[in-house]
Every structure is written in C-alpha cells, then in structure tokens.
Chain A
Amino acid sequence: MSELLAIDGSARAIALRTLLVSGAATALAVLIGVPIGYAIARRTFPGRTLLLGLVNTGMGMPPVVVGLIVWLLLVRSGPLGDLDLVYTQQAMVLAQFLIATPIVIGFTSASIQALPERLPDLLIVLGAGRVRRLWLLAREARLGLLVAVMAAFGAIVSEVGASMIVGGNLERSTRVLTTAIVTETSRGEVERALALGLVLLVLSFIVNLTLTIVQQRPR
C-alpha cells in the first residue's frame, strides 16, 4: 500500500508523458474532427451516409488494430519508415489521434445535427460573420462537443494495444500509464501496478471534471 501513497519520480514522469501524448492526440483530433463533423452534419453530398457509417465504425475500432496498422506504416521497412518515427511519442500520438478522430467526428456530427436546422441561417440574417457563427454554434452544441472531447480522451488515455505496439513501451521515452501497468503486473509488482492504475483514474477524473465544469456552466 505504500506504493499508493508514495508515487516516485518515474511514475510522475510516466503520468506526465501519458497526459502529454493523449492530450496532444485529443487536441489534434478536435482540431481535425470538429470541422469534419460539422461539415457532415450540415452539408449534403454523395456518399455522406457511407462516410457516416465509416465514422461510426471507426468509433468502435479496436486500438490494437489501429496500432498494428500504424506500426506497419512506420516500421523501417514500411512505406513511412524513412520518417524514423516508430517507437517514439510522435508515433503514439499518431495512433491515438487515429483512434480519437472518428469519436470526435461522430459526436460532433450528432450534436450539430441536434441543433435547430435553421440556426445557421438565423445567425447569417442577424449579421454574424463566419467565425462568429461557428463560435455561436459551438456554444449551442457545447454539451455534445465536450462529450466528444471527453469520450475521445477517455478512449485513448485508457488504451494499451496501440501504445504498446507503436511506442514499444520503452522505459524512459514511450512508457505510459497503461503500458506501465501491464509491465508491472507481468513482473509481479501488483501493488505498483495498482498505484499506477489509481494515478490513471485520478488523472482521467481531473481532466473530465474540468471539462464537465465547462460543459455545465450556466448559459
């Protein structure tokens, strides 16, 4: 139990790395996924339903499969081997970004579709420019948009497979909380694994609580 109370320096580094990798992947997924989700929700184009079907499938994509695909792309003999990214934090961000993006797109699209259909038109005739319009729409859809961020972060901060495959679980560079828990458990260090598990839960709680406070602020 002493492990639970005394988190050492290496555990702090692992926790910080976890936050950094998953935070960066979530931020990128939001940056790319929100506009795509918005476009799918508001526009009609050939193949829209097929695209939504693919996005919805992507929302449940097994991380280990994503990890395997990214590893095959980044490994030295792979098509992107020259980038020398395999077993780096960037590779982990890339894999987690691919897991998180469909989740962000799916939730964004659903939350934008739930807004009154004529709301963008209203904002146009009231005189809102493009940026102001998007900001006002995002505020209206913020319940759903923050669910998108929470779901995406939750999915990638807790995944093991992709991080293990593309990151390699290297002790001082690519080990994150989930892969560290696997390592400690396999070594028989159950107390330490439990302590890291608790850190992961607390980390996830703090991030989600912050987002929930933003989400539930009175309008």
Chain B
Amino acid sequence: MMDLECHGVRVERNRRAVIEIESLRVRGGRTTAILGPNGSGKTTLLRVIAGLERAQAGRITFGGAPVVSGSSIAFVFQEQVFLTRSVRDNLELGLRLRRVESAQRRARVNDAASLLGVSHLLDRRADRLSGGEGRRVSLARALCLRTPLVLMDEPLEGLDERTYSRLLDELPQLLSAFDATTLLVTHNGREALQLAQDLVVLVDGRVHAAGDKRDIATRPPTSAVAEALGYFVLSAGGRSVAVAPDALRIGTGAVPFSMVVERVLDLVERREIVGRIGEARVRVPIEAHEVPPSADDVVIVHAERSNEVS
C-alpha cells in the first residue's frame, strides 16, 4: 500500500499561512484521521491533497508520484452533493468519466450499493434523499470508484443522533472494504479514535502530532493535542495535565482539583456537574444517591488518570 507524503506544504489566504506543514507521512493502507478544532485547516489540507485548492509551496505525493485528481482519488464531501438524477446515475457518473465499461459499471454500483444498504434507493432521485441516505450514497459513490486513496471530509457531520451512531458503528468495517489509504477529517476526538488507526492533529495549520492513535491518545504531547482529542487541560501544582473527559470523579485522589459548580445537569439516566477548574470548563458525573451541590459551591474532584503536557 502506498504512503501519502507532504513536504514543505504552505497554503496562504490573504497573505496569511493557513497551512504550513514541513513534513507529514500518512501510512498506506490505513485509516488516518486529521483531527483539529474548527478553523485549524483540516478541510483545506484535504482539498489541497485532492487538487481542489492550490498550495503556494510544497509537494504532495502518493506512492512517490504527484496526486492526480480524478484518477487515484475518491472524495466524500461533508455536504450532500448530487446531480439531480437517480442514485444509480450518480453512482455511475464517476465510472463513466473513468471509461469503465458498462457491465463492470453496473456490477460495481450494485456491489457498493449493497454493501452500504442503499440498493433499494438506486432508482430514487439522489437530490431528494434524507441526510442518512445521502451519506450512505456518498460513501457508495466513493467505494465503487475503487481508488487507492480515499479522502473524507467530516463524513458524519450533520446527521441526527440515531443515524450518526449507526453509521459510526458501521464505518470502520466499511472503511476496510475500501482497501485503500483513507484520510478523514473530523473535529471530534471520539470519532477519530473510533474510525482511525492513525491520527494527525492539526492546530492553526500546523501538525502538532502524527502517528499511531494509541501513542498520541495515551500521551498527548501538547495541550493543543489534548484539547483536540477532547481532553480537559487542567493546571495542577504549576504543571499542565491532560485529563480524559471520563476520568474526573468526585472526591480526593492522587491528582485533586477544586471545581466551582455552575449547575447540575439532569440527563435522566445519569447526572453531571458542570463547572470550572481554573479556566477550563469541565463535567463530572455524580452518583444517583449523592446529594447534588448547588451553584457556586466548591467541590473537590480528582483525575483517575492524567498525563503532563507541555
């Protein structure tokens, strides 16, 4: 499987660098999530790789050769983008443009539609699909191209919760069906960890961490990386520590914090205290039998696990 490599890539907008990457290697045959907060340049990087935007400097190669849009790439857009034709026509379009002969075209479309569970939609107008259906058809369109490089821009963004959870659960298996080097953009740390094997954390257009997700998620090297992963970055004894969102508990422990309570959330099956530890906004679960604190109370919480970040 071929690696994707970026060297000295610089993208400017209004004379300001929005992407500045000295060197980045995305390992072939794996799924890599580009993770970062809004405005960090994730989508721009994906568009530059796809050839939809130009970099002012640098070189992007896939398997050692420049990436060619429209032959080696499948792209899944964040928005639903379809021609006002049937789902089948939309799925076939890319194959027609790549001059795939008609019997093979039909077979590939039927296979991809069946895998994504959209066979029953093939004769429907693609521009009239629901959010979940549209997302599945977009994935099927990418899948039937059978390209060695698949780029996905927030593939689960904007779905209702039920559809989101279902697709999130199904997507890792679907991604393995692509049998490609897959790069997906997300701002959701949980989603990145669930879908990808490797992570690239992008903050302000620069790569803050890249590599195996376990190495990065268990020991986020900087506070920016920790925050991108959804960790709370808290100050403890003059040091900054990253605490996973599920690692804070009421009571004292090895790494204790004073938390100023803002309110208690009643989520029916559980309750959470929302408040502040220093500048950070945090949530801590509270047991059903415990008496909830009031606003402005100070409670002691501790991190079950944490690691120091720079």
Contacts and interface: CB of A to CB of B under 8 A. Distances in A.
Co-complex (A, B): yes
B98 A122 contact: no
B188 to A, nearest CB: 21
A126 B81 contact: no
Contacts of A219: 84-85
Contacts of A132: 97
Given A125-B73, A128-B70, A140 B94 contact: no
Interface centre among A122, A126, A132 (most CB of B within 10 A): A126
Interface in A116-162: 116-119, 121-122, 124-128, 132, 136, 140
Given A116-B79, A126-B93, A126-B94, A121 B71 contact: no
A122 B97 contact: no
A186 to B, nearest CB: 50
B71 A117 contact: no
Indicate the member of B47, B51, B75, B80 with the most A CB atoms within 10 Å.
B75
B83 A126 contact: no
Contacts of B145: 126
B50 A127 contact: no
Interface residues of B, number: 23
| Chain B CB within 10 Å, residue with most, of A122, A136, A140 | A122
The SS class assigned to the A binding surface is helix
B218 interface: no
A90 B52 CA distance: 44
A189 B288 CA distance: 97
B251 to A, nearest CB: 50
A124 B69 contact: yes
A122 B70 contact: no
Contact of B77 (A121, A128, A136, A140): A121
Contact of B97 (A119, A128, A140): A128
Contacts, number: 49
Counting chain A residues whose Cβ lies within 8 A of the other chain, the interface size class is: 10 to 19
Contact of A117 (B50, B73, B79, B83): B79
Interface string A91-134: 00000000000000000000000001111011011111000100
Nearest to A139: B83
Given A127-B98, A128-B97, A118 B70 contact: no
Interface in B35-85: 47, 50-52, 69-71, 73-75, 77, 79-85
Contacts of B82: 116
A125 B98 contact: no
A125 B79 contact: no
Interface in B89-110: 93-94, 97-98
Contacts of B50: 125
Interface string A166-200: 00000000000000000000000000000000000
Contacts of A126: 70, 93-94, 97, 145
Given A125-B52, A126-B97, A119 B70 contact: no
Contacts of B93: 126
Nearest to B142: A125
12 contacts: A116-B81, A118-B77, A121-B75, A124-B70, A125-B52, A125-B70, A125-B74, A125-B75, A126-B94, A127-B70, A132-B97, A140-B83
Given A125-B50, A125-B51, A132-B97, 16 more contacts: A116-B81, A119-B81, A121-B75, A124-B69, A125-B52, A125-B69, A125-B74, A126-B93, A126-B97, A127-B69, A127-B70, A127-B94, A128-B97, A140-B83, A140-B84, A219-B84
